[in-house]
Structure formats: structure tokens, C-alpha cells
Amino acid sequence: MSTAATTETKPAPAAIEKIMVKVDGREIEVPRLMADWSGKLTPTTMIQACELAKTDVPHYCYHPKLPIAGNCRMCLVEFGTPALGPDRKPILNPDGTTKIAKSPRPAIACATPVSPGMEIYTNTPGVKQMREGVLEFLLINHPLDCPICDQAGECKLQEYSVDYGQSASRFVEAKVHKPKVVDLGPRIMLDDERCILCTRCIRFTKDIVGDDALGIVNRGSFNTLTAFPGKAFDNNYTLNTVDICPVGALTSKDFRFQMRVWFLKETRSVCTSCATGCNILIGSREEKIYRYTPRENDAVNGPWMCDYGRLNYKWIGRADRLKDVLVRNVGQASSLSHSQEKSETGRMPVLHSKVTWTAALSEIADKLKNAPAGSVAIVASARQTNEELWLISKLKAKLGAISDSISRTGAGDKLLVSTDKNPNTNGAQLTGVAANSMGTNLPKIADGIRTGKIRTLIVFGEDVTRHGIGVDLLGKLETLIVSDILPNATTELAHYLLPGCAHAEKRGTFTNTKGRVQKFMKAVEPPGDARPEWEFLHDLVYNVTGQDGFLTIEGLFNEMAQDVPAFNGLTWANLGDTGVTVKT
């Protein structure tokens, strides 16, 4: 069962020799070599050993996914190595333990490799004093503007100041003033006075993105982070520099001054802008989304995400979202609709009227049950979740319906952006809803409507008028059932319009381009009567096919996993926060 699903993306590497070190007196076994920022095996550093020992070493410039710079000095620690006698053998203490020769000087933990028997001390008075000293220097020219700084609440300088700072500054000289409100690029604003010159942003854009755009100019205390004059810092990954900036120097133009970070509720989710499925945290407050930030998942996006995906959240809160379950008043649509005569005189006829979910779903179910085999077609969306698509596949099977999804492609890149712009292409294919070559059934559906064979069309989250099933064809249908989030030409013509949810408003799973099944959580409430598609699809499937199932997403997922061969062995629980890769 579980052979199809694995959590590993690469074969296990060859065994690496282990060595013993001591962190603050506790012995721990660490590998001699560990992956560096680029994944290459390099000698394990003291900071990596401390992390394995679950000992926190404060740092600014060190970032596990960036090349080592060693410039902030915050991670200075004391250490010792076994003392060797003239015979190069360790000298023993009278009690038989190895004698440790303490280094007379501290070392930066981020760039110093460990050696067998090494002892690292991170909590001695000397280390505390060094951290206090480094911090005092960093704060010399730093403005005291935390109350208006966007970083406040997630600022390393603030955090370490609480731990190692002084209540009052001893600095009586004039502070060096540097440029403020520097427009670095279309999405980034820089405050050079807040910058502590850790160079994380420079290394990120140079070594990760390959756009060597940032640098430090001038000298000494006049050191200033900048792009070349007249050259905008503009690539599709610039907003990651805001995440990795340990202070409030780099801020997102989209998020700055919008919300204090400690008010944000963070929800684990997945980006839907392309098939990569970058793991994200949705920051929301009072049913409003304020930002997406990347959530680390080394099997998918590492700690990064692209700017396009990050800023593609505003449609969720749009005022014209579909909020009501509607039936169409004109044509032969529904017994629930008001006839045109009833509309108030002197006004435009009301095209749709509002009904309850129960009424609409039971009438749809009746119509579907009575539909002759082969007279129903389904256009689902590869933006829907695995569970929803699976429920649609149940309808499809019962009705003998032809179905497909709509493919979206665009420019990709080498880092994260996929050429496939649907978040769940693999899910649509694994559940059998999409044609093997997605979109090839659409002309067949159009033909079926034209010849009168197809009388009922069910559309989920797509505007089919833009994909070969035009307004004229939709007009020929007996019944057009549409579920969507935002209004479009297809929803205008729907006989039954069922308002759905954005991914941020429901739970579910997507299968990304590499076949990784990843779950996402609900961040905000949907507007009006809108319901998660899997909820009303479940009701509809029960009404039409008699198949009862689980009313929870957990149960539904587990049921689907047993039914869909590719998902066999998966459970909602064992997906964890970072997902599981399946064979596609």
C-alpha cells in the first residue's frame, strides 16, 4: 500500500561519518559533513552542531540557505579542543577524562567547522559579554523607530536587544545619518539607517536569483546598502529579501504600514499561482488577508517564493465575489425561480433570484438523476482540490458524463515558477476528471451541445466562454450549473449558480507538478452564503449517487486516498505540514 507514497524525494546519500562534540556540556553526535546552502556537503559548522543540539545561537548574517558571510559577529562562541601531548595523543585529566584546551579567542559559530571532541560553550559570561558588545555596536547608528517600523514583532535586532541589550544607550555622539525611504525597486522600500549590513539580501539576489543587483557602498560607518544608481531592484524574487532581512531595512511596499505583525493569524497554506505549490503562511486578521509569506519546505520551495505568487491574494477579498446561491428567472430553468412577470414594474427584470443551498441542491440532484446517460458534461477546474475533483469524478461515473479541465500555461523559470499555471493539474488527472491531454475533450463537449446530445453542463471555476464553449452554445443547454468564486460570462448565464471558496477559505489538498500532495488550511471565512465546494459536492454526490461519505475533510481525504490508486496509503494526518510525493 505505502509503496506508492514516499516522503523522500532523493535516494538516501552514502553514510557520513559521525563525530562527538559537546555543546554546553551535553554530548551530541553530529555528522562530519553537512549540506551547505547549495546542498553541497561541507564540514559541519559549530552553528549547525548547536542547532542539532537544540541550542540557540543568536545570529544576523548567517542563513542556512545562503552562503556564509561571517560579518555580523553575533554568533561568537567560546570553544575548546582536546589537548594533545607531544605524541599527538590526547592528554587525560587525573580522573581519566580528556583534557580540553580552551581556545584563548572566541570563534564565529557560523563559519568554524567542528572537530572530534570539540566543546562549544554558548552560555558563558564571556559569550554573553561578546553578544552585548556586538549588539551595542549594531545599535549605535540604528534609529529608535520600532513603534513605526514594520519589522517590529519579527525583528531579530529587537529580540536580541531584549536578551542582550542595555536599557539605555551609552552613545552620546551624533548618529550617522543615511538615506531613508529609498525606492529600491517596484516592490521594495529601503531604510538604510535600519540596515545592519548583514548582506543577506545581497547574497540572496546574487547567489540564489542570479541577479547581482545589490551592494554596499562607501566605507566604515558610512556603509550603505544600495542598488546601482538608476537601476531598479526588480526581479521576480525581490520580496524574499524582506523576509530574510533581520531588521526593518527592507520592507514590502505592499505590506508596509498595513498591519502590525503580532495581530496577524498565520495559517499554513499553499500558493495557487502555479503548479509548483510553494508552501505559504497566510497572514490574516478579522477575515482579511494581509500577506503571504513563504513557509519552508525543502522538497518544494525551500524558504523562498516568487513575488507574483506572493502578491496574488487580493482577488480573494474582492467586493464582487459571488456570495449567493442563485437560480435563473428566465428560460426553462427552475421551479424555484420567480417568473419575469413578478419582477417589479419599471425595473429591469431580475435575472437571478436568491435561494437556499438545500433547495438548489435537491433540485439539481433531481435534474441530474433524471438526465439520460451521456447527456451531461462536466468542465471542472485544475484549480480545485483533489477531494473536490474526486467527488466530481463520482458524479461523472454515475452520470456517464464526459469531463475535462482547462490547461493554463505561461512562462516559467529555473528557480520556482512552473510553466503550468494550474495548482492541481496532477490532481485533475489522477482523479480522472481531466482528459489525459488536458483540454482535448472541450471541443467534443462543444460539439455535443451543438448537436443537442449534451443537455446539461456542469462548470466549476472556469469561464468556458473563453475556452470554445461560447454564449450561443450555453444558450442551447437545458441546464447550466455553475460554481465559481468571481463573476464572469459563464456565471451570468448559469441556471444554478453556486458560490464557492478560495483556497484560503477552505481546507483541502493539491497535487503539485512533482506529484507532491500538500494540504492547506482555512485562513478566513468565505463571504455571504459561499461554501467550500467539497461540502456541497458531498451533498450533491449523496443525493445523486447515494454514496454517503465523510462530512469532514479528513475523512473525505482518507476515503479518496483509498479509492484513487495514486493516493493509496495516504492519510490526511500523514501528509504532515509539508506533504508527501506520489507517483503521477
Partner 1 sequence: MSFTVPANLEGEIDELISHYPVKRAASLMVLHAIQEHFGWISQEAVEWTARKLDLQPINVYELVTFYPMLRQEPMGKYQIKVCRTLSCALGGAYELHQHFCGKLGLDAHKHGPQTTQDGKFTVEFIECLASCGTAPVMMCNDDFYEGVSHAKADEILGGCK
Give contact residues for partner 1 (rule: CB under 8 A). 212-219, 226-231
Separation CA 383–CA 573 (nearest Å): 23
Closest to 304 in 3D by CA, of 204, 451, 189, 439: 204
Separation CA 143–CA 521 (nearest Å): 38
Query: What minimum distance in Å lies between the beta carbon of 308 and partner 1?
Result: 24
User: What grid cell was written down for 259?
Assistant: 498591519
Q: Which is nearer to partner 1, 222 or 315 (CB)?
A: 222
Q: What is the DSSP string of 305-356?
A: --HHHHHTTGGGG-TT---S-EEE-SSS--TTSPPGGGSPTTSPPP-EEE--
Are the C-beta atoms of 45 and 74 separated by less than 8 Å? no
Q: Which is nearer to partner 1, 163 or 183 (CB)?
A: 183
Query: What minimum distance in Å lies between the beta carbon of 222 and partner 1?
Result: 9
Q: Which is nearer to partner 1, 205 or 479 (CB)?
A: 205
Q: Which is nearer to partner 1, 130 or 225 (CB)?
A: 225
Closest to 159 in 3D by CA, of 59, 69, 257, 65: 59
Sheet containing strand 265-270, edge to edge, reads 265-270, 279-285, 288-294
User: What grid cell was written down for 207?
Assistant: 547567489
How crowded is the C-beta side of 336, counted as CA atoms within 13 Å? 20
Instruction: Point out which residues pair with 378 in neighbouring strands.
Output: 403, 458
374 Ramachandran zone, left/alpha/beta (phi>0; psi -120 to 50) = left
Query: What minimum distance in Å lies between the beta carbon of 225 and partner 1?
Result: 10
Q: Which is nearer to partner 1, 155 or 184 (CB)?
A: 184
How crowded is the C-beta side of 441, counted as CA atoms within 13 Å? 18
Q: Which is nearer to partner 1, 228 or 315 (CB)?
A: 228
Q: Which is nearer to partner 1, 231 or 369 (CB)?
A: 231
Query: What minimum distance in Å lies between the beta carbon of 227 and partner 1?
Result: 7
Q: Which is nearer to partner 1, 214 or 378 (CB)?
A: 214
User: What grid cell was written down for 351?
Assistant: 435575472
Query: What minimum distance in Å lies between the beta carbon of 232 and partner 1?
Result: 12
Separation CA 57–CA 63 (nearest Å): 12
Separation CA 286–CA 263 (nearest Å): 9
Query: What minimum distance in Å lies between the beta carbon of 92 and partner 1?
Result: 49
Query: What minimum distance in Å lies between the beta carbon of 212 and partner 1?
Result: 4
Query: What minimum distance in Å lies between the beta carbon of 177 and partner 1?
Result: 12
Are the C-beta atoms of 445 and 420 separated by less than 8 Å? no
Query: What minimum distance in Å lies between the beta carbon of 75 and partner 1?
Result: 25
Q: Which is nearer to partner 1, 225 or 333 (CB)?
A: 225
Query: What minimum distance in Å lies between the beta carbon of 533 and partner 1?
Result: 48
Are the C-beta atoms of 332 and 495 separated by less than 8 Å? no
Element (H, E) at 458: strand 456-460
Name the one residue in this structure whose C-alpha cell is 561541507.
42
Element (H, E) at 289: strand 288-294
Q: Which is nearer to partner 1, 188 or 361 (CB)?
A: 188
